[in-house]
A and B are shown apart, each in its own frame.
Chain A
Amino acid sequence: QKEVEQDPGPLSVPEGAIVSLNCTYSNSAFQYFMWYRQYSRKGPELLMYTYSSGNKEDGRFTAQVDKSSKYISLFIRDSQPSDTATYLCAAVFISGNTPLVFGKGTRLSVIA
């Protein structure tokens, strides 16, 4: 079992939809959680990060962590065609002395 599990999709939604992307993790020692966005043929870019449980909002994006259920979510409101990309979740221990553990990534297409 991978430490961070993510449904690879693909997920296709109409423009303007609310998108929910999810990951689960198995190691309760993870404390920092991140979402990366990767456009086709590019390297991933950090979208958001959260510490421990709770929500964090940045424009149309909201990251949510539920440590009790070991569940990580990214919500995209009013989705745009420019949101079409692969979204990867990642987790790391509080010490930061080991590499990030990435999920496999979910491919999202937003159709105009």
Chain B
Amino acid sequence: EADIYQTPRYLVIGTGKKITLECSQTMGHDKMYWYQQDPGMELHLIHYSYGVNSTEKGDLSSESTVSRIRTEHFPLTLESARPSHTSQYLCASSEPGTGANYGYTFGSGTRLTVV
């Protein structure tokens, strides 16, 4: 059973629409992350957060925003969807601390298609 949930699983939307991808985790993790991954390609870090009201931009953060009002919830918003946003979006979380706690738990992803 997944401890980190992403909705929707698949989304097809028209150009120019505003969309929010949801991510929730039940593990009480302080750290959460959003990645973009095209099929068969590498992970690109979009945004991350190390706690409530804390957000940071990753390598690929343009055109999207995040918020962290609650520990368990880390939504990603695209203000105006474009075909170039077509990709898979992966959410992850991790505990603070050392060692194995550095490991991320990933969600199953949202596959976004902008037409």
Contact = CB atoms under 8 A, between A and B. Distances in A.
A76 interface: no
Given A43-B108, A49-B103, A96 B98 contact: yes
Interface string B68-108: 00000000000000000000001010001111111111111
A61 interface: no
Residues of B in contact with A, size category: 20 to 34
Given A43-B90, A43-B92, A107-B40, A100 B102 contact: yes
A89 to B, nearest CB: 11
Contacts of B100: 46, 49
A47 to B, nearest CB: 9
B108 A96 contact: no
B87 to A, nearest CB: 13
B8 interface: no
- Centre residue among B99, B103, B106, B108 by max chain A CB count within 10 A: B103
Interface residues of A, number: 24
Contacts of A44: 43, 90, 104, 106
B102 A96 contact: yes
A94 B102 CA distance: 9
A55 B41 CA distance: 28
Given A99-B45, A107-B40, A43 B109 contact: yes
A32 interface: yes
A106 B89 CA distance: 20
B33 A104 contact: no
Interface in A66-97: 86, 88, 92, 94, 96-97
B103 A46 contact: yes
7 contacts: A41-B109, A43-B106, A49-B103, A92-B102, A99-B58, A104-B41, A104-B42
Interface of A: 32, 34, 36, 41-46, 49, 51, 86, 88, 92, 94, 96-97, 99-100, 102-105, 107
The 9 closest A-B pairs by CB, nearest first: A43-B106, A104-B42, A46-B103, A102-B43, A43-B90, A96-B102, A44-B106, A92-B102, A32-B102
